[in-house]
């Protein structure tokens, strides 16, 4: 959230043209800036859903320990997975790619990363809502499979914050 907030403050705190006789911060947002802010907010929402799923399958685990893990967990992904857990993230990335190509899921923006969906958690098990749109169900299933995979895999702290140029070669 801090990164998104920082981005929005930078975008919206630049001096504006003369508004009501004063040079200052505009109270009217440019449409592109508004779109960026909304996208950042919704992406944060999707991240929180994924985090809640991880907490469902692994109570007491900080879901953000998986960010920047291995070669595939976090933004982007390249090379051979470092271990089974990193492989979960590779499968997750490929699942999102497949979701992007569903006929009903093509949009201007990167849909899987901002798509909000409905799910439930009971006894450590995640269920995606079948009443959701096909894109929502697809993305939810990607996240559900990943969280189950994380729960079955071993976390190796040595694979956290690796330099991909050194450790993630094919």
What residues are annotated to the active site? 92, 143
DSSP 75-100: SS--SS-SSHHHHHHHHHHHHHHHHH
Annotated ligand binding at 24? The verdict is: no
Please enumerate, as own/partner, the contacts of 63-71 that have beta carbons within 8 Å and a separation of 24 or more.
65/155, 65/160, 66/150, 68/160, 68/161, 68/162, 69/155, 69/159, 69/160, 70/159, 70/162, 70/168, 71/162, 71/164, 71/167, 71/168
Other Cβ atoms less than 10 A from the Cβ of 59: the count is: 9
Query: With contact defined as beta carbons under 8 Å apart, do 70 and 91 qualify?
Result: no
93 is in an annotated binding site: yes
Which residues belong to the annotated binding site for Ca(2+)? 74, 76, 93
**Residue positions in the annotated binding site?**
74, 76, 93
């Amino acid at each position: 959230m801090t990164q998104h907030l920082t981005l929005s403050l930078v975008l919206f705190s630049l001096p504006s043209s003369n508004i009501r006789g004063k040079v200052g911060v505009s109270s009217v947002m440019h449409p592109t800036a508004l779109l960026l802010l909304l996208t950042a907010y919704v992406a944060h929402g999707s991240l929180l859903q994924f985090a809640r799923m991880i907490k469902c399958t692994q109570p007491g685990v900080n879901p953000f320990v998986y960010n920047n893990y291995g070669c595939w967990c976090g933004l982007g992904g390249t090379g051979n997975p470092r271990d089974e857990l990193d492989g979960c993230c590779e499968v997750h990335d490929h699942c999102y790619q497949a979701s992007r190509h569903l006929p009903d899921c093509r949009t201007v923006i990167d849909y899987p990363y901002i798509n909000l969906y409905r799910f439930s958690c009971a006894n450590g098990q995640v269920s995606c809502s079948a009443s959701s749109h096909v894109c929502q169900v697809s993305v939810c299933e990607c996240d559900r499979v990943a969280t189950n995979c994380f729960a079955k895999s071993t976390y190796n702290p040595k694979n956290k914050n690796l330099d991909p140029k050194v450790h993630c070669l094919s």
